[in-house]
Amino acid sequence: MSTAYLNGEYLPLAEARISPLDRGFLFGDGIYEVIPYYCGQSVGLIPHIQRMIDGLAAIEIKCDKSLQEWTILLDDLIAKNQGSKHNLGVYVHVSRGTDTIRNHAYPVDVSPTIFCFTFEIKEPEPVDRSNAATYTVTTTQDLRWKRCHIKSTALLGNVMHYQQGHASGNSECLLYNTDNELTEGSSVNAYIVKDGVIITPVLDNQILPGITRRIIIDSIIADGSIKIEERTVTMDEVHNADEVWISSSSKEIAPIVQIDGVNVGDGKIGPVWEKAFAIYTAAKFTHS
Ligand code: PMP
């Protein structure tokens, strides 16, 4: 049984209790993060916490924990779950808190609910093109809200798009806006590779500023051997790309070999993925 953190207390996960009047439950009124720790070593801890602090500010949840206090809390939780011997993801959730009635307006004197727990994640193995896992995706118009840069716990739009991919036997669903431009996937950022150049959509209100995306861009630029661009990507470019990838803290960089049943390039993992994955893997624990 894993140990969870709830409002200042460490306790067995199965014993954690939150009121049904919590606004996270009633409205999805909260912010969350998922941070990977491999045998106690985190990936992107500081940017993850900073993104959460920014998200809380964006929706005016007053949580007075500093970046340093968050780091200590999460490191303690990892230690309590024998994190030095396991690969663990930490789920961190801050809702606006528990009110006495159900009312849309933000309550004034309510403390945020802070809930964190860990779960096992897969071991990062050295992989190359011959043994890496491959993924397939479907595509659909992005029908989520216009504040996708906020990592809200209200994930129904994402869940419904993820389900579209899942129900059709795919690993993800790539999304495009009304101008036929790629945004991201339901739970991942997206990239194409054309003529050796990696291209990923710019950060705006249509996509989450992924921490894995940040580490990929920074490490590729620092390495200098592959060109990378942040710009608008049309769906025509996606369908004509040499390689297509998705990224997230749990998938790292995952190569897509089929889109809507049609092969990407020759239907095999491409050489740029292999190189980029090696660069990312070498940089991920040191990025901050
Ligand atoms: N986009 C969406 C919609 C996500 O939910 C996620 C996280 N699962 C990502 C992108 C990737 O973000 P990160 O690299 O920080 O995990």
pLDDT tens profile 71-108: 999 999 999 999 999 999 999 999 999 999 999 999 99
The chain-wide mean pLDDT, for the chain, equals 97
151 is catalytic: yes
Atom of ligand 1 nearest to the CA of 211: 15
Helices and strands: H and E segment counts in the chain: 7, 15
3-state secondary structure of 161: helix
Q: Characterize the bridge pairing of strands 41-42 and 197-200.
A: unpaired
Q: List the residue whose alpha carbon is closest to atom 1 of ligand 1.
A: 188
Opening angle at CA 67, ends 51 and 119, nearest 5: 70
Main-chain dihedrals φ then ψ at residue 182, nearest 5 degrees: -65, 135
> Pick from 233, 239, 175, 174: which is nearest to 199 by CA?
233
Opening angle at CA 226, ends 223 and 228, nearest 5: 100
Largest separation between any pair of C-alpha atoms in the chain: 59
Atom of ligand 1 nearest to the CA of 155: 5
3-state secondary structure of 80: helix
Q: List the residue whose alpha carbon is closest to atom 5 of ligand 1.
A: 187
pTM above 0.85?
yes
The predicted pLDDT at position 126 comes to: 76
Give the H/E segment covering residue 178: none
- Ligand 1 center–CA 104 separation, angstroms: 27
Residues with C-beta less than 6 Å from any ligand 1 atom: 158, 184, 187-189, 208, 210-213, 247-249
